[in-house]
A and B are shown apart, each in its own frame.
Chain A
């Protein structure tokens, strides 16, 4: 299914097309990596809804990105439960080894580092979200191992693979 078909299929779940804006944005973001203006227009067009509605949602919800993000988006929870288990130290460590501050992306476009609100996985605090997975019970050693693994994956990938994952505009 192409993006339009996927969005249409999602929209079929609702009596009102406007309801499908969120699912459509999730689909579009999977497809494009982030949500630049033309993609928002396309979503509005597919669903035949007002463009401003799409824009409103793309900026209201934190999982939507209107700016490009790195290939690996490290989203470290620093809410209370994780904070109490040392999330701050991990953040400082990540900033150091990646050479960026939170919210930033490494110059090679590989890593974006963010802090996020509670991920709903406090039993494994401190925890971070990486793509579709949660990485829990983190400490500095685990983080280093994880970064090594990610760099290796990126190194093995062919240029084309990477290009497919690196959002345009980087």
Chain B
């Protein structure tokens, strides 16, 4: 059995309170960082650990931190991406609800490393319990001197503010989040300049996911080598997998990076619902192309999934069984992206609208010959040409469904009805 690291507190009663956190060794990493390490050493340590961002893109965290200019003449900011909007994903919510101090400690150490004195945690507005727990934890941490000025007798000052989202998936995209934080409509920004150089209020800014930040105290305490020994060397560490859909035991599971998808679904998740067979699995939130049942032996890490034509994304694993119509799944996913398109670029805004109209028609049995070619043409027009990854994600997801389940689409068009009804 893999011993949980990130989730070790979540089932402990009152796990969200400072006392509980401290009892489990909490805030020792912060003390260690401040007492024994310079900021640069922390950055090196995180680089060595090969920690990669858990928000979806898997960018090496230490490398990202190292892009922050040392002397900027401006304040630096740390932003925590707690917007968690990727359908199928709920890991960050559980950390914030049940173990918020783990995140705060991660924030403080990361802030120290990059030289930021202010952090904003951008939490989606629906997460009221998480917001309340995190607020309470911030207050406690302040009261006990884990946040504030001259933390633990050092020169390091650090405050954490919460910024509540108000319902827009695109705010999870890091530059759109910055615009949202600045009080604008959340739309992605041009890069360059990259946020590390010119981010929030045109100041150097690092954006990291909740789970990424939660890994940091453990790396500081236990060392980079320990971290790298968990899972594949290029993509190591403990990992939170969100399991949902047509599976017996949906829930949040912590396992090493790289475990086979099949093991996750069958062992942890208990396999398909009674009497059903798995048809496909979406391994990393709906932005990740689905994997048909025969491909489940793939390892759940950034590189293996990419090699298999999908992605780890947010590790939101959605299981789909043989009772479900894939045209319907594809339509619902595209409807989601269409609804959440920020409207900035042509291919995503206009293209997805067209795609939705065709898919809805096909699903309702009103498809016509040529619709599938049109869908393919639209995917081609969208993929690679959008401003941010939202539109891309929609297009590759649809392509995967069209490729692996073409027969279901064809059946809808030929039979003028949904074969699953």
Q: Does B185 lie within 8 Å of A122, measured CB to CB?
A: no
- Give the CA-CA distance A25 to B319 in the complex, in Å: 38
Question: Which residues of the other chain, B, contact A23 by a CB distance below 8 angstroms?
Answer: 163-164
The residue from B87, B252, B286 contacting A123, defined by CB atoms under 8 A apart: B252
Q: Does B182 lie within 8 Å of A18, measured CB to CB?
A: yes
Interface size class of B (residues with CB under 8 A): 35 or more
- Give the CA-CA distance A20 to B86 in the complex, in Å: 25
| Stretch from A61-69, A91-99, A141-149, A162-170 that touches the partner | A61-69
The residue from B166, B184, B246, B336 contacting A18, defined by CB atoms under 8 A apart: B184
The answer to whether the Cβ of B244 comes within 8 Å of any Cβ in the partner chain is yes
The answer to whether the Cβ of B8 comes within 8 Å of any Cβ in the partner chain is no
Residue of chain B at shortest CB distance from A124: B250
In the complex, the 3 A-B pairs of residues with the closest C-beta atoms, listed nearest first: A122-B244, A61-B166, A18-B183
- Least CB distance, B11 to chain A, in whole angstroms: 14
Q: A18-B183, A85-B245, A123-B252 are in contact. Are A80 and B318 (CB under 8 A)?
A: yes
Question: Which residues of the other chain, A, contact B169 by a CB distance below 8 angstroms?
Answer: 117
The answer to whether the Cβ of A3 comes within 8 Å of any Cβ in the partner chain is no
- Least CB distance, B420 to chain A, in whole angstroms: 12
The answer to whether the Cβ of B347 comes within 8 Å of any Cβ in the partner chain is no
The answer to whether the Cβ of B32 comes within 8 Å of any Cβ in the partner chain is no
- Give the CA-CA distance A126 to B17 in the complex, in Å: 29
Question: Which residues of the other chain, B, contact A15 by a CB distance below 8 angstroms?
Answer: 75, 201
Question: Which residues of the other chain, A, contact B180 by a CB distance below 8 angstroms?
Answer: 22
Q: Does B163 lie within 8 Å of A122, measured CB to CB?
A: no
Q: Does A56 lie within 8 Å of B185, measured CB to CB?
A: yes
Question: Which residues of the other chain, B, contact A49 by a CB distance below 8 angstroms?
Answer: 183
Q: Does A122 lie within 8 Å of B161, measured CB to CB?
A: no
- Least CB distance, A27 to chain B, in whole angstroms: 10
- Least CB distance, B78 to chain A, in whole angstroms: 14
Q: Which of B252, B282, B316 has the most CB of A within 10 A?
A: B316
Question: Which residues of the other chain, A, contact B381 by a CB distance below 8 angstroms?
Answer: none
Q: Does B181 lie within 8 Å of A84, measured CB to CB?
A: no
Interface size for A (C-beta < 8 A) is 43
- Give the CA-CA distance A117 to B86 in the complex, in Å: 10
Question: Which residues of the other chain, B, contact A61 by a CB distance below 8 angstroms?
Answer: 165-168, 186
Interface pairs (26), CB distance under 8 Å: A15-B75, A16-B182, A16-B183, A19-B163, A64-B166, A64-B167, A79-B286, A79-B332, A79-B336, A80-B336, A81-B88, A81-B250, A83-B328, A83-B332, A84-B318, A84-B324, A85-B246, A117-B336, A120-B90, A120-B124, A122-B245, A122-B318, A125-B244, A125-B245, A125-B250, A133-B128
Q: Does B339 lie within 8 Å of A80, measured CB to CB?
A: no
Q: Which of A78, A79, A116, A121 has the most CB of B within 10 A?
A: A79
Residue of chain B at shortest CB distance from A64: B166
The answer to whether the Cβ of B85 comes within 8 Å of any Cβ in the partner chain is yes
- Least CB distance, A29 to chain B, in whole angstroms: 9
Q: Which of B166, B182, B185, B316 has the most CB of A within 10 A?
A: B166
- Give the CA-CA distance A3 to B173 in the complex, in Å: 31
Q: Does A122 lie within 8 Å of B87, measured CB to CB?
A: yes
- Give the CA-CA distance A57 to B168 in the complex, in Å: 11
The answer to whether the Cβ of B329 comes within 8 Å of any Cβ in the partner chain is yes
Residue of chain A at shortest CB distance from B94: A123
Question: Which residues of the other chain, A, contact B318 by a CB distance below 8 angstroms?
Answer: 80-81, 84, 122
Q: Does B89 lie within 8 Å of A122, measured CB to CB?
A: yes
- Give the CA-CA distance A57 to B184 in the complex, in Å: 7
Within 8 A of A (CB), among B196-214: 201
- Give the CA-CA distance A26 to B127 in the complex, in Å: 14
Residue of chain A at shortest CB distance from B320: A84
Task: Annotate A72-115 by CB proximity to B: 1 below 8 A, 0 otherwise.
Answer: 00000011110111000000000000000000000000000000
Q: A26-B164, A84-B320 are in contact. Are A63 and B126 (CB under 8 A)?
A: yes
Given contacts A84-B245, A118-B87, 6 further A-B contacts (CB under 8 A): A13-B163, A26-B166, A53-B183, A57-B166, A83-B329, A117-B87
- Give the CA-CA distance A56 to B182 in the complex, in Å: 13
Question: Which residues of the other chain, A, contact B85 by a CB distance below 8 angstroms?
Answer: 117-118, 120
Q: Does B93 lie within 8 Å of A121, measured CB to CB?
A: yes
The answer to whether the Cβ of A71 comes within 8 Å of any Cβ in the partner chain is no
Residue of chain B at shortest CB distance from A24: B183
The answer to whether the Cβ of A5 comes within 8 Å of any Cβ in the partner chain is no
The answer to whether the Cβ of B333 comes within 8 Å of any Cβ in the partner chain is yes
Question: Which residues of the other chain, B, contact A64 by a CB distance below 8 angstroms?
Answer: 166-167
Question: Which residues of the other chain, A, contact B93 by a CB distance below 8 angstroms?
Answer: 120-121
